[in-house]
């Protein structure tokens, strides 16, 4: 039974208490090394306390260095009632749960209980572990070793959270075999139900005052009712989204529908195993499965290229895709008919039948141009081809009405916070995406002295970004800046192709010029490992694409230069973007001005935010794209960035780095 939020109390003014809590000599200051009062942080905490007291919504943008985590934790731990905090990534989730919340809780002596809740793929499943140990289908020596470690881990862990087992990489393929999915969970029928780590985590979350989740989990739950958040929401008084700029994309992913040939092939693998184990009599299971597998692979081969996206309207009616899709539907229906006859033989065979039925229904619904029955509004249908799979997507044109539906019900406060939610203090783009019209929105500036700490450099004489030679020309102008900075640089690219070409060029140039800068490239190791190596080197150059534009914190001298190759506009051939622009233009709006430009500015602000992370950091932000100067909208872009001094002269940049070195020598 869920507990409804109580009636709205009379708002209480906590301003004086917050002034004391964030003031000089406060318990918070004693608990946090290097803490000093910041006006922006104090004011933000007051606004959040006020939203909590009045059960209202607040969109809160806080510049880098404000200390927004403490600004929302202090009022929510003291006055928030039952609180759900949702973060952008699992790493941030762990940081909040293991470090930030315990620090604030100790400092305030706040008697609140805290729970961490992750998606089921993060917890070892006793049933699937036992099954994997018994059937011995592992092929590599690594998998066998990892399985042994997991088997030991299960005997000693109280949570079953794979993040606790550092000996087995998070990306190890064996995790897929020893965790459950919504489709493969046995639920209350499972013999291990009483010991289930997923159920234990959900139970703890039900009983805790503060629950830490991540955006993927939150929206997967809203869409699938499968993560335990749905059970938490009715009793929550306060919901806080940190890194809230990620919500539109995350929500779009989960409110859409995706069905892939990989899912069909995984189902076939399980049908073969369960059929042979429990229902051999009179069925040629390999033959049943092979026809479906062949149909799935044939569907993938209707697109000869890898990494392409097409809306349904872009696929020629004469394309082999549509007949191949019909064949896959027919073969899947045939396999479903066989499963229906034998489902009573075993619970696992019945589970395969349910999965096959759901896949068949989703394939059948995919290309219907009616509003989606679940989300009740217009969607765009599109396909995406990868090396070995094809995904069929149905994506809502807008998540605003769906998300608003989730916010209905008992009054509670909703806090949306990030360093990047506005375009020049204008929140319209974000509010429209999330359906937060008429809600209070406020921005607090960073305490950093950007005018003295940083420099924005836009080089001259670069070709247009769509020119074939653009990446090479960009490297040519970046090299003298990298030399002046002594390495210590991030090169952030908008495409993987640019990352690879830039890496090739810099490798050659560093060798030819005998430059001693270690080069680190996204994809050569995991993100955490690359960042650790970058920090340790002290003079490295790291090249990355989107995953390094945000959530990366390198303080001090190791990072003094951030180079951005192009303004991060979404690719114009993106089917969802094209459909959204068309919908805006039907309403008489300008798709570029009202959607593409603000989205690019928010993304660019994230990339720029990697540079100055501390009061003592100094550095140069180099944006190579000539459109920042040549296009009328360029002014709107740079006015949304931190207020750095600006230059187009290489000599000014070299002088800036020379003066930084002198400052370091004196220090």
Query: According to the 3-state scheme, what is the secondary structure of 28-85?
Result: HHHHCCCCCCCHHHHHHHHHHHHHHHCCCEEEEEECCCCCHHHHHHHHHHHHCCCEEE
How high is the pLDDT of residue 661? 65
Q: What is the residue-averaged pLDDT of the chain?
A: 89
E-only strand ranges, 281-327: 308-311
pLDDT tens-place string over residues 420-461: 999 988 999 999 999 998 899 999 999 999 999 999 999 999
Confidence of residue 662 (pLDDT cuts 50, 70, 90): low
pLDDT tens-place string over residues 133-152: 887 766 678 888 889 999 99
Count Cβ atoms within 10 A of the Cβ of residue 233 and give its class: 0-12 exposed, 13-18 middle, 19 or more buried. Answer: buried
- Locate 495 and state its tokens: 């495409």
pLDDT tens-place string over residues 375-431: 456 888 999 998 889 999 999 889 898 888 878 878 899 999 999 999 988 999 999
Report percent pLDDT > 70 for the chain: 94
Among 336, 391, 402, 394, which residue's Cα sits nearest to residue 576?
394
Give the β-pairing of 541-544 and 489-492: parallel
Among 509, 511, 503, which residue's Cα sits nearest to residue 479?
509
At residue 360's C-alpha, the angle toward residues 355 and 364, to 5°, is 150
Taking residues 558-575, report their average pLDDT: 92
Catalogue all structural domains in the chain, each as residue range(s) with its CATH number: 15-19+35-112+209-254+399-444 (3.40.50.300), 121-195 (no CATH), 257-371 (1.20.1440), 450-666 (3.40.50.300)
Count Cβ atoms within 10 A of the Cβ of residue 650 and give its class: 0-12 exposed, 13-18 middle, 19 or more buried. Answer: middle
- Distance, in Å, from the CA atom of 332 to the CA atom of 296, rounded to the nearest integer, reads 9
Confidence of residue 2 (pLDDT cuts 50, 70, 90): very low
Phi, psi values for residue 393, rounded to 5°? -110, 145
- Distance, in Å, from the CA atom of 78 to the CA atom of 28, rounded to the nearest integer, reads 13
pLDDT tens-place string over residues 476-502: 999 999 999 999 999 999 999 999 999
Instruction: Give 364-403 as a 3 state SS string.
Output: HHHCCCCCCCCCCCCEEEEEEECCCCEEEEEEECCCHHHH
Flag whether pLDDT at 186 surpasses 70. yes
How high is the pLDDT of residue 571? 83
Q: Which residues contact 305 (CB under 8 A, 6 or more apart)?
A: 385
For residues 67-94, b (16+ Cβ closer than 10 Å) or e, as one string? bbbbbbbbbbbbbbbbbbbbbbebebbb
- Distance, in Å, from the CA atom of 656 to the CA atom of 662, rounded to the nearest integer, reads 10
Q: Which residues contact 185 (CB under 8 A, 6 or more apart)?
A: 120, 125, 198
Taking residues 164-191, report their average pLDDT: 85
- Distance, in Å, from the CA atom of 236 to the CA atom of 457, rounded to the nearest integer, reads 47
- Distance, in Å, from the CA atom of 459 to the CA atom of 561, rounded to the nearest integer, reads 14
- Cα end-to-end distance, the chain, whole Å: 62
- DSSP-assigned beta bridge partners for residue 558: none
- Distance, in Å, from the CA atom of 113 to the CA atom of 97, rounded to the nearest integer, reads 11
Task: Identify the residue whose tokens are 């729970």.
Answer: 115
Find the length of the chain: 667
- Distance, in Å, from the CA atom of 392 to the CA atom of 143, rounded to the nearest integer, reads 31
Taking residues 542-563, report their average pLDDT: 91
Confidence of residue 1 (pLDDT cuts 50, 70, 90): very low
How high is the pLDDT of residue 10? 61
Taking residues 166-190, report their average pLDDT: 84
How high is the pLDDT of residue 25? 83
Among 192, 40, 50, which residue's Cα sits nearest to residue 129?
192
Distance from chain centroid for Cα 354: 30
Which DSSP state fits 523?
Answer: T
Biggest CA-to-CA distance, the chain = 85
Flag whether pLDDT at 659 surpasses 60. yes
Taking residues 166-187, report their average pLDDT: 84
Phi, psi values for residue 563, rounded to 5°? -110, 130
How high is the pLDDT of residue 419? 93
Quickly list H helices, 513-633.
Answer: 527-537, 575-586, 591, 597-608, 627-630
Q: What count of Cα atoms within 13 Å lies in the side-chain half-sphere of residue 500?
A: 4
- Distance, in Å, from the CA atom of 592 to the CA atom of 245, rounded to the nearest integer, reads 19
Taking residues 460-477, report their average pLDDT: 95
- Distance, in Å, from the CA atom of 263 to the CA atom of 131, rounded to the nearest integer, reads 20
- Locate 402 and state its tokens: 């769906």
Confidence of residue 374 (pLDDT cuts 50, 70, 90): very low
Give the β-pairing of 379-385 and 390-396: antiparallel
Task: Identify the residue whose tokens are 């090396």.
Answer: 387
pLDDT tens-place string over residues 208-248: 999 999 998 888 766 665 555 667 777 889 999 999 999 99
How high is the pLDDT of residue 389? 92
Flag whether pLDDT at 160 surpasses 70. yes
Among 22, 182, 162, 167, which residue's Cα sits nearest to residue 104?
22
How high is the pLDDT of residue 663? 53
pLDDT tens-place string over residues 29-67: 887 777 888 999 999 999 999 999 999 999 999 999 899
pLDDT tens-place string over residues 599-638: 999 999 999 999 999 888 999 999 999 999 999 999 999 9
- The answer to whether the beta carbons of residues 42 and 18 sit under 8 Å apart is yes
Flag whether pLDDT at 517 surpasses 60. yes
- Other CB atoms within a 10 A radius of the CB of residue 31 amount to 15
Among 440, 316, 621, 439, which residue's Cα sits nearest to residue 44?
440
DSSP 90-143: HHHHHHIIIIIHHHHHHHHT----EEE---GGGB--HHHHHHHHHH----SHHH
Task: Identify the residue whose tokens are 């506005």.
Answer: 422
Taking residues 290-301, report their average pLDDT: 94
Confidence of residue 132 (pLDDT cuts 50, 70, 90): confident
Give the β-pairing of 57-62 and 440-444: parallel
Phi, psi values for residue 93, rounded to 5°? -60, -50
Flag whether pLDDT at 372 surpasses 60. no
Task: Identify the residue whose tokens are 């290309």.
Answer: 367
Flag whether pLDDT at 667 surpasses 50. no
- The answer to whether the beta carbons of residues 412 and 239 sit under 8 Å apart is yes
Among 48, 37, 42, which residue's Cα sits nearest to residue 76?
48
How high is the pLDDT of residue 257? 85
């Amino acid at each position: 039974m869920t507990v409804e939020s109580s009636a709205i109390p009379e708002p209480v003014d906590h301003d004086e208490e917050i002034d004391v809590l964030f003031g000089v000599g406060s318990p918070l200051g004693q608990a946090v090394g290097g803490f000093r009062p910041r006006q922006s942080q104090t004011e933000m905490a007051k606004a959040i306390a006020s939203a909590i007291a009045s059960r209202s919504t607040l969109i809160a943008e806080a510049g880098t260095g404000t200390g927004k985590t403490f600004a929302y934790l202090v009022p929510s731990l003291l006055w928030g009632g039952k609180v759900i905090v949702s973060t952008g990534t699992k790493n941030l989730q762990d940081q909040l749960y293991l470090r930030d919340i315990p620090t604030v809780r100790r400092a305030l002596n706040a008697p609140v209980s805290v729970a961490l809740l992750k998606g089921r793929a993060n917890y070892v499943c006793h049933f699937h572990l036992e099954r994997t140990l018994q059937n011995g289908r592992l092929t590599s020596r690594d998998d066998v070793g990892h399985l042994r470690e997991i088997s030991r881990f299960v005997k000693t862990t109280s949570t079953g959270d794979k993040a606790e087992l550092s000996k087995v990489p998070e990306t190890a393929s064996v995790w897929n075999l020893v965790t459950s999915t919504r489709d493969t969970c046995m639920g209350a029928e499972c013999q291990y139900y009483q010991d289930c780590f997923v159920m234990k985590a959900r139970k703890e979350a039900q009983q805790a005052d503060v629950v830490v989740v991540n955006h993927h989990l939150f929206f997967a739950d809203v869409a699938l009712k499968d993560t335990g958040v749905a059970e938490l929401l009715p009793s929550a008084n306060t919901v806080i989204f940190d890194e809230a700029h990620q919500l539109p994309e995350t929500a779009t992913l989960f409110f859409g529908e995706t069905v892939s040939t990989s899912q069909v092939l995984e189902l076939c693998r399980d049908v073969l195993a369960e059929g042979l184990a429990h229902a051999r009599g009179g069925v040629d299971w390999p033959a049943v499965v092979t026809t479906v597998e062949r149909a799935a692979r044939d569907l993938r081969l209707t697109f000869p290229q890898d990494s392409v996206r097409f809306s349904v309207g872009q696929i020629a009616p004469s394309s082999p895709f549509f007949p191949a899709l019909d064949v896959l539907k027919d073969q899947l229906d045939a396999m479903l008919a066989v499963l229906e006859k034998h489902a009573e033989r075993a619970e696992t065979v019945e589970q395969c039948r349910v999965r096959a039925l759901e896949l068949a229904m989703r394939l059948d619904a995919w290309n219907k141009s009616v509003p989606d029955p679940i989300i009740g509004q217009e969607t765009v249908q599109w396909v995406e081809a990868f090396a070995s799979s094809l995904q069929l997507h149905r994506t809502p044109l807008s998540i605003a009405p769906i998300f608003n539906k989730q916010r209905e019900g008992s009054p509670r406060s909703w806090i949306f916070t990030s360093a990047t939610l506005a375009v020049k203090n204008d929140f319209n783009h974000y509010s429209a995406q999330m359906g937060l019209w008429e809600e209070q929105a406020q921005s607090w500036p960073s305490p950093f002295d950007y005018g003295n700490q940083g420099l924005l450099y836009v080089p001259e004489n670069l070709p247009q970004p769509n020119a074939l030679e653009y990446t090479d020309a960009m490297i040519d102008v970046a090299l003298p800046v990298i030399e002046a900075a002594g390495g210590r640089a991030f090169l952030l690219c908008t495409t993987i192709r640019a990352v690879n070409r830039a890496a090739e060029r810099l490798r050659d140039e560093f060798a030819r010029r005998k430059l001693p800068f270690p080069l680190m490239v996204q994809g050569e190791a995991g993100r955490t490992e690359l960042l650790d190596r970058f920090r340790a080197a002290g003079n490295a150059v790291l090249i990355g694409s989107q995953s390094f534009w945000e959530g990366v914190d390198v303080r001090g001298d190791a990072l003094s230069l951030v180079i951005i190759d192009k303004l991060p506009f979404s690719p114009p051939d993106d089917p969802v973007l094209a459909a959204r622009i068309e919908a805006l233009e039907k309403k008489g709006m300008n798709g570029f001005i009202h959607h593409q430009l603000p989205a690019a500015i928010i993304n660019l602000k994230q990339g720029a935010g990697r540079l100055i992370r501390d009061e003592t950091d100094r550095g140069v932000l180099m944006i190579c794209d000539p459109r920042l100067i040549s296009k009328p909208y360029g002014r709107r872009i740079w006015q949304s960035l931190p207020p750095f001094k600006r230059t187009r002269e290489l000599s000014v940049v070299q002088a800036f780095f020379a003066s930084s070195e002198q400052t370091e020598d004196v220090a």
